[in-house]
Structure 1
Amino acid sequence: MKITINLLLAIAFFGIESHVSANNWHYETFDSNPMSRGWSIHGDKSLFNWNENSKSLQVIWDSEKPNSFFYKPLGLVLTESDSFAFTFQITLDSVKAGYLEGKPYSFEVSLGLLNLASAKVKGFDRGTGLDSPNLVEWDYFPDTGFGATVSPALASDKSEFSAGFTFPAELLIGKTYSVKLSFNAEEKLLKTDMLENGKPWEKIAEVKMGSDFSGFFVDAFSISNFSAKDSESSLLAIGTVDDIAITSSGSLPSLIGMKTNDSEWQAKTFLYDSNKWKIEGSGDFRSWNQLDLDFESVNFFQYLQNPTNKGIQFYRLSH
């Protein structure tokens, strides 16, 4: 079976968006107000603000605030039987951890996938390690003496945790970090890759699901502020989040950023496995030919260019 998606009418310089996908969104740039595109806030709305000037989302992670989520439903449920990946960019502007009297321990900056029904339950408590089911997330714990730690984590529907810990791994103030998490269903393995200002950074520990791990069910991407109000941990971090993308092996990714520059066609996409996708072109929307174009990876996105655009009016990805 051949899967095809997303056409570009290059001769008229505009894209025809198919939006045909197993999940109902693929990419978020924050170029316009995200609340008009299905994003919602649960909890304290003051923690999340769209910045019209920087075209990014400003986020406050305040452990004294209640559990709060800036989220968007996927339109499907992903489980440990699905292979999938997501990416985002994060820049921290200020960080204070363990700064409150009687609360000397660090807490997490968190982004990733969760189950909305589970996360909105009153008793959901990320800090206990026992009361926060259905998570696939990237966590960062600023240093309070042990060493700044990047900790990708999986939590089952029974709050069984599998996590990796890479330290010391400090996110420097003002630097932009591109983060990609990929879950391989066959290997039951969560892999994390990170770039610092576009260059390779630390090697992040992989997370392997244990044999007794009961499985997870996630249905939304979330920038998450978890409460630690009744614990001995404290965190106040301010930063920005941008360029979020998500895909699964069973969903149809989009061609995005499509344009022509001096007759050269350009686009990008975010793929779970770029080796399984090819680009095809057509001059009449009926006869399609595979093009000899390679994907160039930049900040975990796959870029495409066709310098010989002559005679091609439409483009599509094929599987």
Structure 2
Amino acid sequence: MRGKILAFVGDSIGRNHMQSLVCLLSQVDDPRDIYKDETDKFRRWLFPSYNFTLAVLWSPFLVKEMTKKIEGSASEQLHLYLDIADKKWTSQLHEFDIVLLSGGQWFLKAAIYLEKDEVMGCHYCPGTNFTQLGFYFAYRKALRLAFKSINTSPDYKGLTFLRTFTPDHFENGRWDNGGTCERTVPYKNNEIVMEGMNTEMYKIQLEEFEKAAKDGAARGLKFRLIDTTWASLLRPDGHPGPYRYSHPFAKDKNAKVQNDCLHWCLPGPIDAWNEFLLEMLKRESM
């Protein structure tokens, strides 16, 4: 990995994954913070002893997104352009030796979907006459376009990883209505099954990855899958829970606070994702 650049492209869970790797690599070299933008969502660290650079690029949808005011209302609506890749990451592809894509959870947001600047439909858009296409449709289109952008980039010759979908562990509600994650031990294999949204998002990833890997091989590009979904599903004990911010009970030990049952504690189960990544990198000739 000497002289290489590895880029994480995705959402806040991708950033969480990157933070884990920074911590692990810091055990052997002190990273230099060499770049961050004004939003703190695009950052780079250099590990000088190895001339290795780690980058993170914020692109939760992988495609162009815009937030627009709803006419006659103070509210805003998310618009996703499913035929336009997000240039914030595609414009930098040529710089990277390794790209690690991830994501999926942000597609649950209500959104209007467009192609060729025309509305195709939406996910959860009450009060409109748009076709309800749903977020599975949008995620498949976005992931397919992301892979196509990589496979058709004239200057990218790197290794591409896709990390699979991350389940959450909210119980007794969702993230915004009192959901919690209070378990303190992992599930055993026979204590939980993967179903519903987790299964469908995972299936979409496998199908689109297989197509992209086949197309990439014809162009001399390598694609690899980091399958973390089942291993992550077994770890309901690895989330910050009420400790998404420090000292949540300092003023009231019985306070009702919003739980984070999606992101991961550091150190914690997410470190295993990087064990997978590092083992897979060892097998590559780069």
TM-score by length of 1: 0.27
Please identify which structure carries the higher strand content. Answer: 1
Please identify which structure carries the higher helix content. Answer: 2
Q: Select the structure with the greater relative contact order (CA < 8 A; seq sep ≥ 6).
A: 1
TM-score by length of 2: 0.29
